[in-house]
Structures are given as structure tokens and as C-alpha cells.
């Protein structure tokens, strides 16, 4: 069973093999075999971490999703590479399809540039989504064997420096047939989609919660006259947290349905709406350090 992580936990906010050893009691989970209580503890820990450091929570998310992607696959080479070592001794990276991608998979040859790939400078292996004939394929690769160039200079988002997102340029890489793990969005990979989506939703929720509390402390300290607006926002944040808690049981869901994704998409849409409202009030108050 995972250990409880909260805002008082003394932890170095960095992401590497040394710190991953310290993070293991909170995030080393076998998601596919864990009971629902252990899954819920993982996401409680992730939300608490996102309130402390969104960048570190993002790194944990991408490492974990890469591991689950491999675990669901039939690729023995990937299984042996990823699960033959302790949790902290091998790091994974994961990336979905981005509009700016210029990566192709033709005749089993991978070529081009994949943008917004987090953990690249730390990772030993990766799983990427790539469109092939309008199908999002999940492709595994060993970074130590991949002919590529990595660019970390194209953009570094404020607050997410720990994620160290890079652009991966692949040059004529022959993909083994078993390295195409499967199709994203199918029943086989539903548990991966479920896990990856709730990691994203959880980090978003933790961000919204902490940003609101920071804004509330500022507004009350300097008597900004925003009591009514803050009360409305507080209700939205409370509703968002209730949604997040109520939907934790869906982590044990194994069947892909439209109803499932309609509920998840509604939850995320409300989270975005709440974040936008918080940012709007921040701009209206005119807090310079934001």
C-alpha cells in the first residue's frame, strides 16, 4: 500500500533517479494489479504534489503513463527493459499527438520531429503517440538506441521547468513490429487512457485548488474588496474537488464506453472554466507577481 503524501511531507522538489527513490513510497504503483484503495492513494498523492510543484507532478505523470503503456503491451523486450529494474532506476517519458508534430511512420520507418516530450533528458525509454493512417499508434523506443537529436531550447513554460519538455528529432529509425504496442483509444488500451486522463485531470485540479487559495490569501491580506467574487469562485472550486473525489471510483473501470468519456470530459471542462475564472479575477485585481 502506498504511503500518504501531503503538503507537510519533506521532499526535495526535483526529478531524477536519486529523488525518484524518495518518491517511490508515494508513487511506485502497479496500476493494473492494484486494488482501488491503492489507486485512489496514488491520485491523492499526485494532487497534493501538484499543489506543491506542478512540474514534478507532471514528471511523475508521464513516467507512470509510460510504464502502464508498456505493461499493457505484448512486447517482451519492452517489459524486460522497464520492469527488470527497481522503480527508481529506470525513467520513462510519454507524449500524445500534438498539432505541431512533424513525425511520420511510413513503412516502419520513423522520421521527423516530435514536440512537447517531457522527461527526455532523464528518460531511458519512451512511449509516443503517432498518427498512422489516421490511427493513433503507441510506439515504444529505447532512448539509448534511438538515432535522434533533442532540442530543449524551443520553449520553456514558466512553472514547468522541471518537466524539461524537449523536441525529439528522429532520423530514419527502423521500428520493430512489436514496438508498436497498440492503438490508443481502443478497449485494449482503455486502462492506460483512463489512468493517463485522470493523472492529467488530477494535476489540473491541484493547480486550480492551490492557485485559488493563493489568490484568496492575497485578496484578504490587501483588502481588495472581492469578497463576493471570491465566494463564487470558492463554490466552483469546492464543486470541482467534489467531482474529483466522486470520480475516483472510476479508476477501477475497465470497460470503454461513451458515457465514461462524456463524464470525464465534462469534469475537465468544468476544471478549465474554473481556472479561467480564477485567472480573470487575478487580472482584474492586478496582482503584479502573477
Residue 12: how many other CB atoms lie within 10 Å: 11
3-state class of 94 per DSSP? strand
Across the range 6-22, mean pLDDT stands at 90
Across the range 137-155, mean pLDDT stands at 87
Q: How confident is the model at residue 152 (pLDDT cuts 50, 70, 90)?
A: confident
C-alpha 218/C-alpha 226 separation (Å) is: 11
Residue in the structure block whose three cell numbers are 510506439: 139
6's CB contacts (< 8 A; 6+ apart) are 48
The answer on pLDDT for 155 being more than 70 is no
Per-residue pLDDT at 53: 93
Q: Give me the helices (H) in the chain, please.
A: 17-27, 36-52, 54-71, 76-83, 190-221, 227-246, 258-285
Residue pLDDT, tens place only, 122-142? 899 999 999 888 889 999 999
Q: What is the DSSP letter of 30?
A: -
Average pLDDT, the chain: 93
Residue pLDDT, tens place only, 199-227? 999 999 999 999 999 999 999 999 999 99
Residue (of 235, 237, 241, 233) closest to 281 by Cα position: 233
Q: Give me the helices (H) in 72-170, please.
A: 76-83
Residue (of 48, 27, 43) closest to 250 by Cα position: 43
* Side-chain half-sphere CA neighbours of 245 within 13 A: 6
Across the range 105-117, mean pLDDT stands at 91
The answer on pLDDT for 154 being more than 70 is no
Sheet holding 148-151, edge to edge: 102-106, 109-117, 166-174, 148-151
Per-residue pLDDT at 111: 94
C-alpha 190/C-alpha 257 separation (Å) is: 10
Amino acid at each position: 500500500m502506498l504511503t500518504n503524501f501531503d503538503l507537510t511531507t519533506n521532499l526535495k522538489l526535483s526529478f531524477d533517479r536519486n529523488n525518484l527513490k524518495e518518491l517511490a513510497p508515494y508513487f511506485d504503483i502497479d496500476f493494473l494489479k492494484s486494488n482501488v484503495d491503492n489507486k485512489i492513494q496514488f491520485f491523492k498523492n499526485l494532487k497534493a504534489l501538484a499543489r506543491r510543484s506542478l512540474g514534478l507532478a507532471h514528471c511523475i505523470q508521464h513516467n507512470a503513463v509510460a510504464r502502464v503503456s508498456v505493461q499493457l503491451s505484448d512486447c517482451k523486450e519492452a517489459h524486460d527493459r522497464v520492469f527488470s529494474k527497481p522503480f527508481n532506476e529506470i525513467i520513462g517519458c510519454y507524449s500524445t499527438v500534438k498539432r505541431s508534430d512533424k513525425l511520420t511512420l511510413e513503412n516502419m520507418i520513423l522520421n521527423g520531429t516530435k514536440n512537447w516530450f517531457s522527461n527526455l533528458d532523464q528518460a531511458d525509454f519512451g512511449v509516443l503517440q503517432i498518427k498512422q493512417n489516421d490511427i493513433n499508434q503507441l510506439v515504444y523506443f529505447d532512448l539509448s538506441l534511438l538515432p535522434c537529436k533533442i532540442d530543449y531550447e524551443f520553449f520553456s513554460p514558466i512553472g514547468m521547468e522541471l518537466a524539461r519538455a524537449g523536441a525529439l528529432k528522429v532520423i530514419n529509425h527502423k521500428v520493430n513490429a512489436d514496438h508498436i504496442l497498440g492503438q490508443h483509444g481502443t478497449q485494449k488500451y482503455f486502462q492506460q487512457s483512463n489512468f493517463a486522463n485522470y493523472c492529467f485531470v488530477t494535476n489540473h485540479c491541484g493547480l486550480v485548488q492551490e492557485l485559488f487559495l493563493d489568490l484568496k490569501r492575497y485578496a484578504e491580506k490587501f483588502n481588495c474588496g472581492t469578497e463576493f467574487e471570491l465566494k463564487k469562485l470558492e463554490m466552483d472550486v469546492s464543486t470541482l474537488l467534489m467531482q474529483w473525489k466522486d470520480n475516483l471510483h472510476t479508476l477501477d473501470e475497465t470497460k470503454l464506453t461513451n458515457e465514461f468519456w462524456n463524464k470525464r470530459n465534462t469534469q475537465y471542462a468544468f476544471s478549465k472554466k474554473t481556472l479561467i475564472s480564477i485567472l480573470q479575477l487575478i487580472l482584474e485585481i492586478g496582482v503584479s507577481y502573477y
